Amino acid sequence: MTADVTEARSGALSLTGTTTLPAATTLPRVPSFGEVVAAHRAAGRLVVQPRMGFADPARMRQGLLATRDARAATVGTITLDSYTRVGDHDAVTRALAAGADLNGYPLVDADPVATARMLADVLTPAFPVQVRHGSADPRRIVRTLLRQGLHATEGGPVSYCLPYSRMPLVTAVEHWRQSCELLAAAREHGSEPHLETFGGCMMGQLCPPALLVALSVLEGMFFRQHGLRCISFSYAQQTHPGQDEEAVAALRRLIRRYVPDVRSHVVIYTYMGVYPRTPGGARGLLAASARLAVRTGASRLIVKTSAEAHRIPTVAENVAALEHAAVAARHADLGDPPMDTGVHAQARALIDNVLALDDDLGRALTVAFARGHLDVPFCLHPDNAGRARGYLDHDGRLQWQRIGAMPLGGLVAVPATEPMTSAGLLDALQHVQRTYDAQHSVNSTGTWESRMTITPLDSRISAGQRPPGTRAHLTSPVTQAALRIQNSVLAGSREYLSTLGFQEMMPPIIGPVTDPGVRGAKQIDVDFYGHRYKLMTSVILYKQASLLAFDKIFYVAPNVRLEPLETAGTGRHLAEFTQIDVEVADASREDILDLLQGLLRHIVRHVLRESKADLAALGRDPDVFEALLREEFERISHPDAVAHLRRLQHLQSTDSEIDWEGERLISEQTDRPFFIVGYPKGSRGFTDGESSTEPGVLRNFDLIAPDGFGELCSGGERTYEYRRLIERMRETGENPAKYTWYLDLAREGLRPSAGFGLGLERVTRYLAGLDAAWQANAFPKLPGIVSP
């Protein structure tokens, strides 16, 4: 270390009045990060590195020492916390003052002396430490790390902007230009600074490898343009070992071509998507990534631990992962050279295209994204075109489903039909997790875990149809987009109904009785001071009663129905769900159909306006709602619907509800929602009013969404006269004795009314184009599947 740097550090430290310094001043020139890795490679050792970051300096130090002492060739990692990543230094300061825990080391705001002590004796010539951060503006981070005698970090103008930040790309490019120059300038004071591209890890998942390779190379070229001479190029393990090997081979070829004059190596990241949940599965995936590194001549591996799927791993878990990866690397065979399926050609086409746009690589990258010449699938950043899509083919390889404006025309065979639906997407996201967990299935010792799975259902619902774990579900971009759209649905509904003078009421949750008119679903009993009460299956009885207070009311009401297990796979049934429950006094069915049509149109307009980006991210084309907004919803009678289904060779019974399969079939035949009116008595509960002119026909309806989305809503005119209620109760097998409070009201007079219950998750599913209603629920409960 030279005197200048020592001075710089002394200067920083003197602010605190401290004069004792780490012994680094006495060290000879420190080898660069790249040189250390190269030395290990020359000795046939794969360098393994954790993703480790702790807020507490003592613990961070312990982690670094444990990494250094692990039985493996290692380099150290300091991962910074999320506040530092986004530049919210006030929040870091507050958290530090409050003694709150951070999810990484707050390098910039930490007491420099504490950091210096943390690093004292940790850094050795053979054990460099890299700072990992994820920031689109790493200038302060770079300044701080240099002051602390560190000289290796990672990231990139694209890879740390698009996925993680809302910062405009052009701004991030400028920040990264300055950061590169800061870093490069440190060369004059000591060892060669090192920068690693994160471009080969974009988004973590479902990005076809050619784009990852191209971004990794382009970011490396950007680093080089701004002065760096020691660069590593990343590639994250994806879904198919053969394809990964091909991609890394392409990456190395392209590095030789475009960045031949710097010290470089390739770093592999263990899979960054939904991680296996079983310890065996996690270890298997880690070993596969080590194998990938060895086979492709990569020099370094960033590992994940088996705890990754559940929480931030401990030091011991990190060390175990490092040692496991090292062992796997030692035992990896070289295998056959990978097949060329065109990854190299695609990546090269992408790179050449960018290079042709502008001599300044920063400007070229900005223009390329603006024009969609680079387009990262499933990336919601405003500067990303979002027209490209990836999918998983039968073999588990990542392929292009759509290439948008990327110059891949002659190089990619895009499938004629869109193979990726949102269930397909989820399925794809879980592909690796499932594959490795299945290979390493373990006997669960936790009884809760083993009870989670109900055998007959497992075979009935494919993995893609069932929710992933809570964390994976909540952190999935699909869930987040769906929930934002749902928010829009609710806001739109409230806006529309309140404009029409509706009173919103808070829903009751329990009562002595609830809606019995639910096909084959069991109610949940609750003990109410020794009396059997029910959780609401719907608030219908309370809606009727509420009209004693107001003419027009609605509830946003939760319902719980233990539906038959066969409904778990319909994509439409949840055991716990929410309805927008509307009731209007003195209304006819026809009034209600008009109201519902108006409401749904309003919701659709609202969502199209407010949730544009989310719809686009989910691949939902706004044009599908054109007919809904333009044309009246058709009203067909139940007998006509039955006749129609029979023409479609579906054996629908004339005196029953349209069955689930029938509903799907009929729903596939149309381009806009429609009503089926007048169900036969015997298909619905007693609250559905019978026609006074057509005995046996109910004055009710269902609203069916097009394209197979099926029923969204049921409603109709209600039974409200006391004698008719008693008769209808008996016809539906009910014991009137249970309904005392309700019958007492009816005896003195309930108001005639009509209304409906619109399924919130179902509407969201339809608007968002989801495969299943559970995707529109943060904590979905599918019939028979035990879940939080």
Partner 1 sequence: MSGIRAPQLPEAAIRARARDATAAAFPDLTEYGHSLFGATPGPPSGDELDLARIVPPVFMPRRLERMFDLGREPLPGDAVLGCEIGGFQAPLPVFLCAFGSTQVAGRGLGVDASEQAGRLGIPMVIGENVVPMHGYGRTADDPPPDGGLLGRIRAYADAVPDGLGGVVVQQSTEDADAEVWNLVYSDPFATRLLDSGRLAFELKVGQGAKPGLGGMTVMSRGAAAAVSEQYAMDEAFGRDTGMVLRCSSPGTFTEEILRQQVHLMRNNYPRARVWVKLHPGRDVGHAAEVAWAAGADAVTVDGAEGGTGWAPSVFLEQVGLPLAECLRRVGKHDASLLVSGRVWEGSRALKCLAMGASAVGLGRAALIAVDEDAADGLVRLVRCLELELRLLLSALGKYDIHEVTEDDLWFPGKEESR
Return the number of the residue (477 or 512) whose C-beta is nearest partner 1. 512
Query: For residues 494 and 603, what is the distance between their CA atoms, to the nearest angstrom?
Result: 9
- Binder of partner 1 out of 508, 732, 751, 787 (CB under 8 A): 732
Q: Of the candidates 251, 328, 505, 562, which one interacts with partner 1 according to CB under 8 A? A: 562
Which span sits near partner 1 by CB under 8 A: 404-412, 496-504, 563-571, 621-629?
563-571
Residue of 269, 331, 329 lying closest to 301 (CA atoms): 269
Binding mask 634-673 for partner 1 (x = CB under 8 A): -------------------x-xxx-x--------------
Q: How far is the CB of 736 from partner 1 (least distance, A)?
A: 9
Binding of partner 1 by 730 (CB under 8 A):
yes
Q: Which residue's CB is nearer to partner 1, number 31 or number 564?
A: 564
Q: How far is the CB of 572 from partner 1 (least distance, A)?
A: 16
Distance CA 298, CA 265 (A): 7
Residue whose CB is less far from partner 1, 368 or 645: 645
Q: How many residues does the chain have?
A: 788
Structure tokens at 300: 């370094």
For 68, 363, 478, 560, 622, the CA distances from 250, given in Å and listed in that order, are 32, 25, 31, 54, 39
Residues 6+ apart with CB under 8 A from 183: 142, 146, 151, 153, 193, 195, 227, 228
Query: In this chain, which of 395, 631, 632, 731 binds partner 1, going by CB under 8 A?
Result: 731
Q: Residues 6 or more apart from 257 whose CB is under 8 A from it?
A: none
**Pick 336 or 527: Cβ nearer partner 1:** 527
Site for partner 1 in 321-380 (CB under 8 A): none
DSSP state string for 390-423: EEE-TTS-EEEEE-TTSS-TTT----SS----HH
Residue nearer to partner 1 on the CB measure, 370 or 454: 454
- State how far the Cα of 683 lies from the Cα of 706, in Å rounded to an integer: 23
Binding track, positions 765-784, relative to partner 1; x by CB under 8 A: ------------------xx
Q: How far apart are CA 633 and CA 264, in angstroms?
A: 63
Minimum CB–partner distance for residue 404 and partner 1 (Å):
46
Q: Say how far apart CA 556 and CA 695 lie, in whole Å.
A: 33
Q: In 3D, which of 643, 628, 787 has the Cα closest to residue 704? A: 628
Q: Which stretch binds partner 1 (CB under 8 A): 74-82, 520-528, 545-553, 765-773?
A: 520-528
- Show contacts of 776-779: CB within 8 Å, 24+ apart: 776/482, 776/483, 776/485, 776/486, 777/574, 777/576, 777/577, 778/473, 778/474, 778/479, 778/483, 779/470
Q: Does 727 bind partner 1 (CB under 8 A)?
A: yes
The nearer residue to partner 1, 711 or 734, going by C-beta atoms, is: 734
Can residue 194 be called a binding residue for partner 1 (CB under 8 A)? no
Minimal distance in Å, beta carbon 534 to partner 1? Answer: 9
Alpha carbons 275 and 282: distance in angstroms, whole number: 7
How many residues lie near partner 1 (CB under 8 A)? 36
CA distance 434 to 321: 20
Shortest spacing between CB 434 and partner 1, in angstroms: 23
Nearer Cβ to partner 1, position 48 or 677? 677
Q: Does 522 bind partner 1 (CB under 8 A)?
A: yes
User: By CB under 8 A, is residue 761 in contact with partner 1?
Assistant: no
Tell me which stretch binds partner 1 (CB under 8 A): 74-82, 242-250, 410-418, 680-688.
Answer: 680-688
**Residue from 81, 245, 437, 734 binding partner 1 (CB under 8 A):** 734
Q: Tell me the H-state helices in 739-786.
A: 740-748, 760-768
* Subset of residues 433 to 492 that bind partner 1, contact rule: CB under 8 A: 454-457
| Minimal distance, residue 521 CB to partner 1, in Å | 6
Phi, psi dihedral angles at 765 (to 5 degrees) = -60, -45
Residues that bind partner 1 (CB under 8 A): 454-457, 516, 519-523, 531-532, 562-566, 653, 655-657, 659, 680-683, 727, 730-735, 738, 783-784
